[in-house]
Structure 1
């Protein structure tokens, strides 16, 4: 059975009515037959049929045992971090999402959890950073926004040997593009707001675990802390999942064409996209990913915030906005948007330059998006020259 067929067949038909779409059980509580005797649900924070259907679907998508849905991607990350105790240490990818960095650095640090940020594309750096107190390795691959590729299988083997849990943020690749649990990871997290939802109309996060034991530990925190996904938002994610493989394939094809165009453009100094042969992680990405994804980042030859601002405000089809993975194309300036919470020196050391621009390629035709970037790149040079002239006069 092909992947898309298997996915669609995993979405249940409602047994009560025959509804082909999963019903929205928009209820806070459930009537009990007697104290403690119910039909499987008692209160929607602890469990809801619509959310349960979603959680079963995402567990199947990632090939895991337990799936859990949260009210945001950061809530999902937070639930995983609650497995840690004061004194534990974490090794995290240096080119990390700004929100995750803030959670590590501003929240868990004060509770005695130490995080060491390393270049996880280098297995030696990962090995050298591990101490007897290391309990978790935190990967993003591809990373946000420089699309670094880490060898999941190699790091998973190292983690198993040293009894360290490996969690992979699979947001950028999506379950249609990469399956970290099959490569040895213990936990997968997603900002389901992105590719899983796919329509820029819901905030959500999911966690999938390789074992029942890990899943039940995180389920405890899901219920105890209460950052659960609502029934309606669960329905929206299920609807998005139905077209996930088709969307990701189309977005990846367009992203490849755009990356190749940018690589040859005279106003661009560097392009980050794992589908390019020039990308240092291309071979690993080709081995562990089914697609190269829909995100392309690039640095302008004039590596300045001023030049990047001029570009991102001159596109017609790429909308200037945070987030990614939706059907409409977006453009962002990470230094002042998604990664603004990271100190400038830390951000630049991780490769997030002032002149770096991130594209989330949607479902518009690739030739239209390339034409848009062509015009914007040209317009941005005139705008920057104009700004310089005004400053000098």
Structure 2
């Protein structure tokens, strides 16, 4: 029977069969198990897991994304590595310009070693994509929404472009998760995730995953993961699988809070611009509304020059300063001095990352507490300070 995502996730790892089974899908004995009706026991009262945590996680993700199969990897970068091994050694890949710092750092490493040739382009500009094509171009990699300004890539248009040029379309869906966007339904060949973010949601595990549209590519990825030891561990898989059980309700609360934060910031005198696909003024709003089932909880803002960035980051009480995104806790980051400072090869639109750009990952805390924290932080940061302004140097408690 086909279930809605909420039911699929809440029952992930449970198999209704004729034997007692563990509801925890653990590599150890689960803490609770189902009891069979009278007359239907098989003579044992011991619970047993229906499958390993990793294979259960893979099946869950494949079901959610509508794919033929999935591979759960140890990290987001190991998931990326598995994908690049599908390509020929002399292949060329086009990547969306506003990709995450981790993605850019990984591709820069391969490019510098001559393992994979990579160029960067605005995925919303089909003419620019056409110009970037080479005889060896094999794949198009996009993140939507994008990393800094939350730009939206029109997946329908990119799917047509990829098909016309015999390219593998790979979509990083980490920001939204399969609950809010299913790229495979829109023509993507592969979907990749960093599991530490939205899927797990609790900042307590590392992981990555790839979901394939075709059985052949799913089997190829599985062979690559096996050969190179890229698989996620049973313990990490269990934590990610546990996190997915609350994914749907978390996504709803994340977005509820994000909308309130966006409306507050959009009217705030200390904020020059808000970048959020849910705003009608966002350039990608129409595409987002068409291809997404929500707008996510990442929000970027351009703060006014009257705001002391250093004072702003010191003033928060609820928002934590850090680069973690998609977790239940709200975080705030200054990309120019944090994530992008640690990845000097990250491509971007201009010569530098805008120094007034601030990115928020809105969590599931009390909406009123989040709004109050923003208000008091901006009030503090706009007050005159005796010490000179300097780039923020936050203590990062999460990565």
1:77 corresponds to? 80
Give me the CA root mean square deviation. Answer: 2.2
Alignment correspondent of 1:7? 9
Whole-angstrom distance in 2 between the partners of 1:201 and 1:212? 31
Distance 2:285 2:377 in 1: 28
CA–CA separation in structure 2 for the residues paired with 1:286 and 1:58: 23
Q: Kindly state the Cα deviation for residue 24 of structure 1 after the two structures are TM-superposed.
A: 2.0
What is the rounded CA distance, in whole Å, between the counterparts of 1:338 and 1:91 in structure 2?
Answer: 22
Distance in 1 between the 2:351 and 2:252 partners?
A: 29
Distance, in Å, in 2 between the alignment partners of 1:373 and 1:106 is 38
| Counterpart secondary structure, 2:109 | helix
Task: Deviation per CA, 1:146-178: give whole Å up to 9, x if none.
Answer: 111000111011101111001000000111110
C-alpha distance 351-154 of structure 1, shift in aligned 2 (>3 A):
farther
What's the offset of the Cα at 1:25?
5.2
Count residues in correspondence: 366
Q: Distance in 2 between matches of 1:345 and 1:227?
A: 25
Encode CA deviations 1:169-190: one digit per residue, 9 max, x unaligned. Answer: 0000111110000000000000
Q: Where in structure 2 are the equivalents of 1:215-254 lying within 5 Å?
A: 215-254=218-257
Match status 1:136 vs 2:139 = yes
Which shifted more, 11-20 or 253-262? 11-20
**Aligned match of 2:186:** 183
1:332 aligns with 2:333: yes
TM-score (ref. length: structure 1) = 0.88
Question: CA contact under 8 A between 2:96 and 2:143: conserved in structure 1?
Answer: yes
When residues 64 and 350 of structure 1 are mapped into structure 2, their CA distance, relative to the original with a 3 A threshold, is farther
Q: Which runs of 5+ in 1 are unaligned?
A: 27-47
Q: Name the CA distance, whole Å, in 2 between partners of 1:51 and 1:389.
A: 48
For 2:134 and 2:324, the matched residues in 1 are separated by: 35
> Residue 382 of structure 1 aligns to a residue in which SS?
coil
Partner of 1:53 in structure 2? 56
Query: Comparing 184-193 with 339-348, which one deviates more in the overlay?
Result: 339-348
Residue 360 of structure 2: SS of its match in structure 1? strand
TM-superposed CA distance for 1:123, in Å, is: 2.4
- The whole-number CA distance in structure 1 between the counterparts of 2:197 and 2:208 is 9
Q: CA separation in 2, counterparts of 1:233 and 1:352?
A: 34
Normalized per residue, the structure richer in helix is 1
- What per-residue deviation string (whole Å, max 9, x for no partner) do you get for residues 100-139 of structure 1? 1111112343124221111112222222222221101000
For residues 219 and 111 of structure 2, what CA distance do their matches in structure 1 show? 22
